[in-house]
Amino acid sequence: MREIVVEHLARVEGHGDIEVVVEGDAVKRAVLRIYEGPRFFERILIGKSYYEVPDITARICSICPDPYQVASSRAIEKAMGIRVDRQVEALRELQLISDVIHSHALHLFFLALPDFLGYKDAIGMAAQYPETVKLALKVKRAGNAIKEVITGRTVHGVVTKPGGYTKVPRAEDLERLRKQLESSIDGAREAIRVFSSLKMPEYSLDDNLYIAVDPGEHYGYSGEYLLVSDGTRHPVEKYMDLTNEVTVEHSSAKHSSYKGSSFMTGALARLLLNEKRLYGEAKESYESLRDKIDPRNPFSNNMAQAIELLYSVQRAMDIIDGLLDEGIKDKLMVEVKPRAGEGIAVVEAPRGLLYHHYKLDDNGKVVFANLVTPTAQNAANMDKYLRIAVRNLKDLSDDELKLKLEMLVRAYDPCISCSVHLTRIGV
């Protein structure tokens, strides 16, 4: 019997490892073990005012706090029957895009690319590829700049609330931001150039199931319906049917399935299910690179992220142009009168679907909360493709196999620390 453990999986957010057991030609075990402790955020939220929820849930993640703020605000607004105007919706789209830009730039250039170019880390890679690293940092900073203008901070902004925003961005700040985005777009183009020149590994191929939000007219990161690659479309209120969370022995993150099958969510799912909603240079890039994106190969997620990076920079500039043409209102908060209710919302975090579900009492205080995170939804699918990889690579040395398996997990861009949420155990 051969046992292999990849301890302290590198270049991912959080703590996890990979465990493999092979006996003869049989793969007895190949799993991603997530051993982060429960975060208890769903319990922490009980009794808290609706007004505090976006600031609390943002602390679940310092890489992508904005999807948590937007999802919680939307869910609470549904529970209390609040409608916000177009400018609030536009700023929320910008807020979601900010995380896509900075998170995809971080993952593509600094977490994934060193594997393909043969470096242990991005620091070693920077000496040989200084121009690529400079472009990468420039586009990543543009994502952070959006956060600073919209929410007041680059991490954990405090102005996103149910009902709108407590701070209104100034026109001159948006004009400055647009110039910064325009000057950073070469970083997004560089991501497409670099990753389209690489041959993606093919040691883990299989038919894959995908789920992503239906964003409506334009390619985007929020909506009221979910699209599944089996051709079905579901209202967000049916999210429990799509996630079917269960606990597993080897992970403190729950696993999800749809009709008994694992599934993938994230950039590749979004691109495959919403390709017709792309426009501009990103659409042209996708059409020219379509043959390089294999739906059966999780490594295609890297190419999908590169295309999304370009699209998101372009889309952010278009949204800012629209806001400047229309003129920013002096006030972006509607009056909120707390009341009892139940609301469910979904947004796309950079790594995939994020569901927020709340029930409120008459005073607008939380009496129930359920948060379903992207990595938890991808966890069962990662195990599936690890088994396939080990089956195809089991004759490699331990060190070679470990690197291949790490690369496969990194292709999902997992956020391990965000993936663990409260498990209720009855005794």
| Residue of 63, 57, 225, 71 lying closest to 162 (CA atoms) | 71
* Sign of CA pseudo-dihedral 422, 423, 426, 427: negative
Binding residues for Fe cation: 64, 418
Q: Say if 427 falls within a structural domain.
A: no
What does pTM read for this prediction? 0.96
Binding residues for Mg(2+): 42, 371, 421
Q: Say if 424 falls within a structural domain.
A: no
Percentage above 70 pLDDT, the chain: 98
Which tens digits make up the pLDDT trace of 234-288?
A: 999 999 999 999 999 998 889 999 999 999 999 999 999 999 999 999 999 999 9
306 vs 257: CA distance, rounded Å: 27
Q: Say if 37 falls within a structural domain.
A: yes
Percentage above 90 pLDDT, the chain: 87
Residue 424 has a pLDDT of 55
Residue 10 has a pLDDT of 86
State whether residue 68 is helix, strand or coil.
helix
Structure tokens at 226: 């979910």
Of the candidate ranges 50-54, 61-65, 323-327, 418-422, the one whose mean pLDDT is the lowest: 418-422
When pLDDT is averaged across residues 338-349 and rounded to a whole number, the result is 98
Phi, psi dihedrals of residue 295, rounded to the nearest 5°: -60, -20
The CATH code of the domain that includes 358 is: 1.10.645.10
Of the candidate ranges 294-298, 302-306, 416-420, the one whose mean pLDDT is the lowest: 416-420
Of the candidate ranges 87-101, 145-159, 184-198, the one whose mean pLDDT is the lowest: 145-159
Which tens digits make up the pLDDT trace of 3-47?
A: 999 998 888 888 889 999 999 889 999 999 988 777 889 999 999
CA dihedral in degrees (183, 104, 242, 203; nearest 10)?
130
What residues does 264 pair with on adjacent strands?
210
Which tens digits make up the pLDDT trace of 148-163?
A: 999 988 888 889 999 9
Residue 393 confidence class, pLDDT cut points 50, 70, 90: very high
DSSP 201: P
Domain of 7, in residue numbers: 2-418
Q: Say if 426 falls within a structural domain.
A: no
6 vs 17: CA distance, rounded Å: 5
When pLDDT is averaged across residues 120-126 and rounded to a whole number, the result is 91
**Interstrand relation of 222-223 and 164-165 (parallel, antiparallel or unpaired):** unpaired
| Residue of 251, 244, 241, 242 lying closest to 420 (CA atoms) | 251
Burial bucket for residue 181 (CB in 10 Å: 0-12, 13-18, 19+): buried
Q: Say if 354 falls within a structural domain.
A: yes
Domains: count for the chain: 1
Binding residues: 42, 61, 64, 371, 415, 418, 421
Burial bucket for residue 207 (CB in 10 Å: 0-12, 13-18, 19+): exposed
Residue 422 has a pLDDT of 58
Distances (CA, A) of 222 to 52, 67, 274, 304: 22, 9, 12, 18
Residue 420 has a pLDDT of 72
Q: Which residues contact 288 (CB under 8 A, 6 or more apart)?
A: none
Is residue 182 within 8 Å of residue 314, measured between CB atoms? no
Residue 427 confidence class, pLDDT cut points 50, 70, 90: very low
State the chain's mean pLDDT as an integer: 95
Which tens digits make up the pLDDT trace of 197-208?
A: 999 999 999 999
What residues does 371 pair with on adjacent strands?
356
Of the candidate ranges 257-266, 363-372, 415-424, the one whose mean pLDDT is the lowest: 415-424
pLDDT score of 62 more than 90: no
Binding residues for Ni(2+): 61, 64, 415
Q: Say if 423 falls within a structural domain.
A: no
pLDDT score of 421 more than 80: no
